[in-house]
């Protein structure tokens, strides 16, 4: 039991990292709202994480016989990293900029709430542990 | 991923937008300046903005961290002509060269800079709250 004591917390921490990264990207988009030719970016993480978690349960992994053999691409939830994608295919304005300030503002609000939710989950995990320890 | 370095992203935008507001104010203040050191009327100035990114961070494939004003350039468009024969600067036909500043355009730019500034303050506050929340884990 003690081996996977912090499994959930570690998983939530990955989510927090991705959310923080997304916040940075949104801030950068908003900062560059008046920069000619700037293209907005977004962060992909949750879908990839979900896929990895589901595959971890009833998926399959590559059989390796030597340590230098490659595993299947990002099969393990631990190896999933938030990916920053730049949206180069659109232009909203004459100067080539494609930052939609309304979209970025809603994403910012959404991301902040999501971050707070994850923090609350981490705290509740620790509260549970505290209860168990104190009896 | 620095804990507080992401606040600098919005901070750089606040600096850039404030500088832009300063330049716009200078344009409006000099909208009637018919003579400068160069012997011409005042020329409208414009800020050039670019993502703040160092050469090494481009090579490393890192994303830009904020925005910066790389240059303040002069608007090369033609000066306006105003008929004012009593002015000592008037030419033989009685016309005076006036700055190429359009006040309406400047006011609109000023509004745009103000709104961008506000958007960045909102983003900065959101980040601040998130960081404060992260520090409360385990309370």
A100-135, pLDDT tens digit by residue? 999 999 999 999 999 999 999 999 999 998 998 998
Q: Tell me, yes or no, whether B121 lies in a domain.
A: yes
ipTM associated with this complex: 0.79
The three-point CA angle A59-A62-A66 to 5° equals 150
- C-alpha–C-alpha distance, residues B81 and B62, integer Å: 50
Q: Tell me, yes or no, whether B139 lies in a domain.
A: no
Q: Tell me, yes or no, whether B54 lies in a domain.
A: yes
Name the nearest CA neighbour of B79 among B102, B93, B100, B95. Answer: B100
Which tens digit of pLDDT belongs to each residue from B71-119? 999 999 999 899 999 989 888 999 999 999 999 999 999 999 999 999 9
Q: Any idea which of A70-74, B45-49, B70-74, B128-132 has the lowest mean pLDDT?
A: A70-74
The per-residue b/e assignment along B26-56, b for 16 or more CB within 10 angstroms, e otherwise, is ebbebeeebeeeeeebbbbbbbebbbbeeee
Q: Tell me, yes or no, whether B69 lies in a domain.
A: yes
Q: Tell me, yes or no, whether B12 lies in a domain.
A: yes
Domain that holds residue B63: 2-134
- Distance from A63 to chain B by nearest Cα, in Å? 33
Question: Model pTM?
Answer: 0.81
Task: Please judge whether A26 and B123 are an interchain contact, meaning their C-beta atoms are less than 8 angstroms apart.
Answer: yes
- C-alpha–C-alpha distance, residues B81 and B85, integer Å: 12
Q: Tell me, yes or no, whether B122 lies in a domain.
A: yes
Q: How many domains, in total, are found in chain B?
A: 1
- Closest partner residue to A28 (CB to CB) among B65, B113, B130 is B65
pLDDT at B59: 82
Task: Please judge whether B138 and A123 are an interchain contact, meaning their C-beta atoms are less than 8 angstroms apart.
Answer: yes
- Closest partner residue to A112 (CB to CB) among B9, B67, B126 is B126
pLDDT at A8: 86
Judging contacts by C-beta atoms under 8 Å, the chain B residues touching residue A100 are none
- Closest partner residue to A27 (CB to CB) among B9, B116, B133 is B9
**Would you place residue A59 in the very low, low, confident or very high pLDDT band (cuts 50, 70, 90)?**
low
Q: Tell me, yes or no, whether B115 lies in a domain.
A: yes
């Amino acid at each position: 039991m003690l081996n996977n004591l912090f499994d959930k917390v570690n998983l939530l921490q990955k989510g927090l990292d991705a959310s923080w990264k997304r916040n940075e990207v949104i801030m950068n988009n908003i900062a560059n709202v008046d920069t000619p030719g700037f293209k907005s970016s977004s962060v992909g993480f949750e879908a990839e994480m979900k896929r990895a978690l589901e595959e971890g349960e009833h998926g399959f992994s590559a059989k390796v016989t030597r340590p230098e053999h490659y595993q299947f691409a990002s099969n393990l939830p631990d190896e999933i990293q938030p990916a920053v994608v730049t949206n180069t295919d659109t232009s909203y304005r004459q100067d080539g900029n494609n930052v939609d300030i309304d979209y970025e503002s809603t994403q910012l609000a959404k991301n902040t709430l999501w971050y707070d939710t994850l923090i609350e989950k981490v705290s509740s995990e620790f509260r549970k542990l505290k209860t168990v320890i104190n009896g | 991923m620095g804990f507080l370095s992401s606040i600098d992203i919005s901070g750089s935008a606040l600096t850039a937008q404030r500088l832009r507001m300063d330049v716009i104010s200078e344009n409006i203040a000099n909208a009637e300046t018919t003579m400068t050191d160069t012997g011409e009327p005042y020329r409208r100035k414009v800020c050039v903005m670019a993502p703040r990114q160092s050469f090494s961070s481009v090579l490393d494939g890192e994303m830009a961290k904020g925005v910066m004003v790389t240059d303040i350039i002069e608007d090369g468009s033609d000066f306006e002509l105003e008929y004012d024969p009593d002015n000592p600067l008037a030419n033989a036909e009685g016309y005076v060269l006036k700055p190429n500043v359009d006040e309406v355009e400047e006011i609109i730019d000023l509004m745009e800079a103000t709104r961008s500034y506000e958007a960045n303050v909102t983003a900065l506050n959101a980040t601040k709250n998130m960081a404060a929340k992260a520090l409360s884990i385990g309370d």
